[in-house]
Amino acid sequence: MQIITVNKRARFDYEILETYEAGIELKGFEVKSVKNGRIGIAGSYVVIRNNEAALINADIPAYQPKNTPLGYDSKRTRRLLLHKEEIKSLTGRIQEKGLTLLPLKVYIKKGRVKLEIGLGKSRKKADKRQIIHQREARQKIRSALRGRE
């Protein structure tokens, strides 16, 4: 499994309750672009409409800009490939207060582009501050341990 990109901001802003693996419906030149590492999922999100999951606002620039079809939109809505049971359960869970679907990372598995999506609950500002304090404390401990060796 080769990881292409990770959405670090999603894990900071949201508490991830569950994760799902989904395929992405892409065009051929988009697959080449993604395999070259040219995809941006920061600021994108997942919605469920008409019993289909869709990735909105993910940026995949053209592999070769001069050979791209006319009118290509790099931030177009892309369909996600999930099982019907998963979509039904996600639809029920999203109805709960404060739960959102977020793209967490994009990777290649057995030659196919996959997207890990997470069901997340928004964190409050105080929770974010606590995470920052914990991270800083861990860094201080690590540096202190390195200084002794």
- For 57-84, write each residue's pLDDT tens digit: 888 888 877 777 888 877 888 899 999 9
pLDDT at 83: 92
CATH number at residue 63: 2.40.280.10
The boundaries of the domain holding residue 38 are: 2-123
Is the Cβ–Cβ distance between 113 and 93 less than 8 Å?
no
Residue with the two structure tokens 């994009």: 106
For residue 14, list its beta bridge partners: 122
Does a structural domain hold residue 15?
A: yes
* Whole-prediction pTM: 0.76
Does a structural domain hold residue 56?
A: yes
User: Does residue 149 carry a pLDDT above 60?
Assistant: no
Does a structural domain hold residue 108?
A: yes
Angstrom distance (rounded) from CA 114 to CA 79: 12
Does a structural domain hold residue 139?
A: no
Report the number of distinct structural domains present in the chain: 1
Does a structural domain hold residue 17?
A: yes
What's the rounded mean pLDDT across residues 6-32?
86
DSSP code at position 68: S
Q: Which of 134, 100, 135, 73 is nearest to 7 (CA)?
A: 100
Q: Tens of pLDDT along 75-126?
A: 888 899 999 998 988 888 888 777 888 999 999 999 889 999 998 888 777 7
pLDDT at 142: 87
Does a structural domain hold residue 141?
A: no
Does a structural domain hold residue 14?
A: yes
Does a structural domain hold residue 149?
A: no
User: Does residue 139 carry a pLDDT above 80?
Assistant: yes
pLDDT at 148: 64
Which alpha helices (H) appear in the chain, and where do they start and end? 8-13, 28-35, 84-94, 125-148
